[in-house]
Structure 1
Amino acid sequence: MLIQHREITHPDVTALVLAAEDELLTRYPGTTRTPLNPRAHFVVAYVLGEPVGCGALTPHEAGVAEIRRMYVAPAHRRAGVARRILAALERRATAQGWDTLLLETGENQPEAIALYESVGYQRTEPYGRYVHNPASVCFTKKIVRS
């Protein structure tokens, strides 16, 4: 598996984000697609040259970034792809000077909740646009600079 930094306009980012949104629309009927944050820093996971997952960091406030757009194609789940994407995002956050990460997932994504808890993310109160969303499950993690 190879993890590569990709620009927001890269076709692999576009394809993976669309696949992620398609899945979210089935898990959360009535939701709509949301535009990408132009300041997002993406990574894409590749297996044998095929893009199989992605994730992004977006600046939130001083010292804090938000993990967004985490997605792994169904055929590649439970193979460590999401863990590798998270690790790459955490390294990038440290390199950018961020020491706290936030993320949001939903109650209809128990596999994501289990993953985040297993790698040290702690549940936190909903923040920002998630405050009034009863389906949101929010997490935070302090990352240690090496």
Structure 2
Amino acid sequence: MVAMERVDWTDPDLQRLVSDQETEVDSRYDDQDHDNHLDAETVTVAVLARDDDGTAVACGVLRDPAPAFDAGTGELNRMFVHPDHRRRGIGKEILRALEAAAQERKLGQLVLETGIQQPEAIGLYTSEGYRIIDNYPPYEDELDSRCFAKAIGAEG
């Protein structure tokens, strides 16, 4: 069982998990470019999952609006579950918490980018109704990237 908590981008537990996520992604790909301009001004909502002892074990963030899209589209980013806590549905809980935050913000669509070397992420997103879309900027020329979108709200 985990508890969901909204935190600021600067939260130390969030930053630790973001660093862990970057390290894991680096181990799967040759390109180690993390410059996607996430900061306190661009991250609208950040969510942590804490286990029973209060340790932050998973995270995800929402940007609103997504830089490559018009208003009404948010972008999910930095979705990560610590390896010791995987296969327990925590990623799905983070995803749903971010979708709820997007609905509160009256967004009509969420988009995200993940990589072909992350089949567990692709499985999560497709099982939750996300569909593959053309890669959007800045990922349009990235062969290892897969972009997804989902309509949310009353129609989603």
The answer to whether the superposition gives a TM-score over 0.5 is yes
**Following the alignment from structure 1 to structure 2, what is the Cα–Cα distance between the partners of residues 99 and 86?**
16
Aligned match of 1:77: 86
Quick check: 1:113 aligned with 2:115?
no
TM-score of the superposed pair, with normalisation by structure 1: 0.95
Counterpart code for 1:16: L
Greater strand share, structure number: 1
Gaps of 5+ in 1: none
Quick check: 1:56 aligned with 2:65?
no
User: Secondary structure of 2:138's match?
Assistant: helix
Quick check: 1:102 aligned with 2:111?
yes
Number of residue equivalences: 146
Gaps of 5+ in 2: none
**Following the alignment from structure 1 to structure 2, what is the Cα–Cα distance between the partners of residues 6 and 102?**
21
Deviation at 1:128, TM superposition (A): 1.1
Counterpart code for 2:42: R
Greater helix share, structure number: 1
**Following the alignment from structure 1 to structure 2, what is the Cα–Cα distance between the partners of residues 57 and 67?**
5
Identical aligned residues as a percent: 38
Where do 4+ consecutive residues of structure 1 move more than 4 Å?
none
Aligned pair partner of 2:46 in 42, 46, 57 = 42
Aligned match of 2:14: 13
